[in-house]
């Protein structure tokens, strides 16, 4: 499928990479470690699911992968907000996750409208 601009795929992968890089620099306490593990899982899932969407075999598969990426981006935003309370270094991730959520939601909405029968 991969019918959308390649930039969003690359942007989602880049978000995953930057999130991991930023989190590696933190000096977390015990609670922060739990939040970091959750954020790494959700942030890397955004990029992974967008890469799977780019190789989807059907429209249904594409929408499913895109939907998962959107959910994971929203979850990432949640973990970032919690971590930002004690680590201001992650605030740049919040801006990017907000933008990715908006972009993916728009792509999904437009794609579903365009493919309605």
DSSP-assigned letters across all residues of 50-114: HHHHHT-SSHHHHHHHHHHHHHHHHHHHHHHHHHHTT-GGGHHHHHHHHHHHHHHHHHHHHHHHH
Where are the chain's structural domains?
6-114
What is the per-residue burial (b if ≥16 Cβ within 10 Å, else e) of 88-100? eebeebeebbeeb
pLDDT for the residue 4: 67
pLDDT for the residue 3: 53
CATH number of 6-114: 1.20.1440.60
Tell me the whole-structure pTM to 2 decimals. Answer: 0.89
pLDDT for the residue 2: 46
Does the pLDDT of residue 82 top 90, yes or no? yes
Each residue's pLDDT tens digit, 18-77: 999 999 999 889 989 999 999 999 999 999 999 999 899 998 999 999 999 999 999 999
């Amino acid at each position: 499928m991969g019918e959308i601009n390649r930039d969003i795929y690359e942007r989602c992968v880049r978000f995953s990479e930057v999130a991991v890089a930023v989190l590696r620099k933190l000096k977390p306490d015990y609670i922060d470690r739990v939040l970091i593990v959750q954020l790494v899982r959700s942030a890397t899932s955004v990029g992974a699911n967008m890469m799977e969407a780019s190789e989807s075999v059907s429209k249904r598969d594409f929408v499913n992968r895109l939907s998962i990426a959107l959910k994971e981006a929203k979850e990432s935003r949640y973990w970032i907000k919690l971590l930002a309370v004690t680590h201001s270094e992650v605030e740049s991730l919040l801006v990017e996750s907000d933008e990715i959520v908006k972009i993916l939601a728009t792509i999904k909405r437009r794609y579903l409208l365009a493919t309605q029968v």
